[in-house]
Amino acid sequence: MTSPVSSKSDPATEALGFAAHDHDHCVETAMAAAEARCNAEGLQFTPVRRKALEILLQEHRALGAYEVLDRLRDAGFGSQPPVAYRALDFLVANGFAHKIERLNAFIACAHPGTSHSPVFMICRLCDSVAEASAGPTRGALGQAARDAGFQIERTVVEAEGICPACSEKAQA
């Protein structure tokens, strides 16, 4: 096994929501679901877009646009920034992926299909990212908005800290 040492690790054994899982299977099912939804809604799930989503799903972590671009180039697509940004824009606009503002990076949605306001937990030690789901108008934000007369259209909720795995490691 290579480099069990520090932060980055093998996606197949790494956290999805900080929990181990059958990675190949989850990629396949997510791709199939995306395929189906694009068909149903008349969205053009073109090769670049498909590949971009596959890249995000494979990694199961937040990738910068240029990392995605590198992999798209390797797969034979264009090599200029707009190629990646356009594919990512499509994925984000249609809920297949999210942008993590804190990291300027993108990640495949962990709860696709459902309309949701994502909530992210970002481990500062291993860079893993878990996605939870939350109603948009609940909690402190919704209250503050109502008090102020502010109409929320979109929310960014991201927590930075230590994931369970790194927490255990630190104790040992």
Chain residues in the site for DNA (CB under 7 A): 42-44, 46-49, 64-67, 77-83, 85-87, 90, 99, 104-105
What is d(CA 98, CA 85) in angstroms, rounded to the nearest whole number?
A: 13
Residue 167: contacted member of Zn ion, DNA, a second copy, none (CB under 5 to 8 Å, by partner type): a second copy
What are the two backbone dihedrals, phi and then psi, of residue 49, each rounded to the nearest 5 degrees?
Answer: -65, -45
Cβ proximity to a second copy: between 63 and 110 the closer is 110
- Rounded to a whole number of angstroms, the minimum distance from the CB of residue 158 to a second copy is 4
Cβ proximity to DNA: between 71 and 165 the closer is 71
Q: Helices 47-59 and 81-93, interaxial angle, to 10°? A: 80
Cβ proximity to Zn ion: between 83 and 97 the closer is 97
What is d(CA 171, CA 166) in angstroms, rounded to the nearest whole number?
A: 9
- Lookup: tokens for 109: 């949605």
The footprint of a second copy on residues 17-46 (CB under 8 A) is: 17-18
Residue 111: contacted member of Zn ion, DNA, a second copy, none (CB under 5 to 8 Å, by partner type): Zn ion
- Rounded to a whole number of angstroms, the minimum distance from the CB of residue 140 to Zn ion is 14
Classify residue 126 by burial, with Cβ atoms within 10 Å: 0-12, 13-18, 19+.
buried
Q: Helices 65-74 and 81-93, interaxial angle, to 10°? A: 110
The footprint of Zn ion on residues 75-134 (CB under 5 A) is: 109, 111, 118, 123, 125-126
